[in-house]
Structure 1
Amino acid sequence: MKLTKYLAAAAVSAAFVAAPASAATMGMADLAITGLIILNANNAPVTNGIVIQNENRTGTANSNFNNAQGTGAGLGNIFSTTIGGTVDVKNRCAGPSCAAMPAGNYPGGMENNFTAHIPAPNGNYAMGDMYIAGTALGVTGANGLTRADSSVMSPGNAGSANATIANSATAVTTFTAGNTLQAKFALGYNAYLAAFVNAINGVSGSSLGTISWTLSLQEVIGNVSTTIMNWSPAEINDGVTSSDISQNSIKESSGTILSNLVTLTGGRTYKLTINQASNSIASEVRAVPEPGSMVLIGLGLLALGAASRRKAAK
């Protein structure tokens, strides 16, 4: 079941009513995996018959504002070999508004916030955060978060953020009497994308927010690996961009997605790889003089031309 909300053009203008009257840009890319489990053909969770040999996972989060790197508690890249282990890169914030966070922007705090989404630019900052725990091959499933948020409210600034999850597991399936299993994956998710540009007074801007999530399942026989499933749900492989107020948009969706069935053979080895990423950019550049300034420049050029003609006539 999927719930989707998509706002564009005039509807987005109403959604951004709280945005400042001055020039501003914003890019938001938030993807929370609220549960990933393996099911059988009857949609029942597979609670036994799978033995995990090993698991490696990596998490990365970073941000920058005007090329200054964001800071956070601990490392910006964490690697784990613990089966079902938690990888939690603490949020990394860059920009002058970081000190005032999370007031107004992230009720409940900035760290591992699965639910708070920013509807309009609010401050000058960029923030990246990521988290993953559990395993799709376990009874309780897996969950994870990648968040990349950027907001710019004054000319000449640029912020960008990204967060990624790279997770892989190798599992040996064991069944009695050589039975095989028809399996599929169930994915619970919450996704939020937003791109906002309010370019006024000669200020041009651009923004983007993108999310991606893929699952690859390979069957390993000896030294040969054969891919038996590549799954990239459209709902969470998406993005929005804007360089003008008419392009501003919000995409918000949540629900549960089911993959196609795949056959797992008893006694064989399988490698499961999951990749998840969020990226955002918000920037403003003073591209051309303001209209009033252009008029003054034009009058000045006319005056110079008139003075030159008078001088030449003497």
Structure 2
Amino acid sequence: MKLTKYLAAAAVSAAFVVAPVSAATMGMADLAITGLIILNSNNAPVTNGIVIQNENRTGTANSNFNNAQGTGAGLGNIFSTTIGGTVDVKNRCAGPSCGAGMPVGNYPGGVENNFTAHLPAPSGNYALGDMYIAGTALGVTGANGLTRADSSVMSPGNAGSANATIANSATAVTTFSVGTTLQAKFALGFNAYVAAFVNAINGVSGSSLGTISWTLSLQEVIGNVSTTIMNWSPAEINDGVTSSDISQNSIKESSGTILSNLVTLTGGRTYKLTINQASNSIASEVRAVPEPGSMVLIGLGLLALGAASRRKAAK
């Protein structure tokens, strides 16, 4: 079952009513995989007959505000070869709103590994990246993972961007010891949120972006030959929004469980599963643009300076 909500233009303006009446931009890209598990053709979890030979996963989280890199507890890139091992890059925050409870205080439940909270409006000057993955899609309890990339700008002359990636997050070489052919599919629980907002008032302009992506590839390996038997990229979690004007402001939010197509897995053969997940956001520089009246004044000022210079040269 899938729940999808899409807000655009006027509806988004209403959704952002809590935003201050000032220039601001925001890009949000939050993707939480709440459960990924392999099922048989009867929609029952496959709990035996699969031997995981190895598993490799890499997680990264980064942020940038006015070219200053975000900081956090520990490293921004973590690699693991432990089967079902947890990779948890602590949130990386950049910008003046990172300290003293900001932006942590704006996220219900806090920022770190928050699978559900999404900010509805710009709330400071910062960029935030966070990621987490644990479990395995081939295990009894499945896998879950998070990539969060949020950027918010509320004053002129600033720019923020963030990204978070799970690379080869559930790469597993598996051997099936089943005696008969197995018809299998994947069940994916998710919570996805992307938003782009620009409040271009008083001669201020900017742009914003929020994108998420998730792909699953399954290969059958016979000797030295690997053949792809499934590529799965659900539209619900391969999406994005952009805005450079209030008429383009939009929010896309969806959650639920989706199923892949069935695939045939032959007993005794080896399979390689690769999953990649990423979030990216940008809240671009909010820059003041001279109003037409200001441009006229500037022009008159330049003309006056020019006339004064000519008079001085004529003396």
**Given the two structures, how large is their TM-score scaled by the length of structure 1?**
0.94
Alignment CA distance shift 1:312-1:161 (3 Å): closer
CA contact (8 A) 2:30 2:149 kept: yes
Spell out, residue by residue over 1:252-296, the C-alpha distance to the aligned partner (whole angstroms, 9 max, x if none).
000111000000000000000000000000012426323342131
Identical columns (%): 96
1:92–1:174 Cα change, 3 Å = closer
Indicate how the Cα distance of structure 1 residues 291 and 100 shifts in structure 2: closer, same or farther if over 3 A, else same.
Answer: farther
**Is the contact between residue 86 and residue 131 of structure 1 (CA under 8 Å) also seen in structure 2?**
yes
CA shift digits 1:36-61 (9 cap, x unpaired)? 00001111110111000000000000
How far the C-alpha of 1:76 sits from its partner, in A, is: 0.3
Residue 168 of structure 1, CA deviation: 5.2
Kept in 1, the 8 Å contact 2:160–2:283? The answer is yes
Structure 2 CA distance for partners of 1:172 and 1:193, relative to 1, 3 Å: closer
The Cα offsets for residues 134-164 of structure 1, whole Å up to 9 and x where unpaired, read as 0000000000000000000001100000000
Distance 1:301 1:7, change over 3 A: same
Residues 8-33 of structure 1, C-alpha deviation per residue, up to 9 Å, x if partnerless?
01101111111111110000000000
Give RMSD over aligned pairs.
Answer: 2.3
Report the CA distance between 1:102 and its aligned residue.
4.2
How far 1:109 moved relative to its partner?
A: 1.2
Q: Deviation at 1:297?
A: 1.6
Secondary structure of the residue aligned to 1:280 is: strand
Determine the C-alpha separation between the residues in 1 that align with 2:119 and 2:33. Answer: 19
2:156 is matched with which residue?
A: 155
Separation in 1, partners of 2:171, 2:279:
25
Secondary structure of the equivalent of 2:206? strand
**C-alpha distance in 2, partners of 1:52/1:182?**
18
Q: State the Cα distance separating 1:203 from its structure 2 match.
A: 2.0
CA distance in 2, matches of 1:288, 1:162: 29
Contact 2:153 2:283 in 1 (8 A): yes
In structure 1, stretches of 5+ residues that fail to align are none
Do the aligned partners of 1:183 and 1:263 also contact (CA within 8 Å) in 2? yes
* Cα separation, partners in 2 of 1:168 and 1:29, compared to 1, 3 Å: closer
Asked if structure 1 preserves the Cα contact closer than 8 Å seen for 2:177 and 2:268, the reply is no
Report how many aligned residue pairs link the two structures: 314
Tell me, in whole angstroms, the C-alpha distance in 2 between the residues paired with 1:60 and 1:271: 22
Name the SS for the 2:308 alignment partner. helix
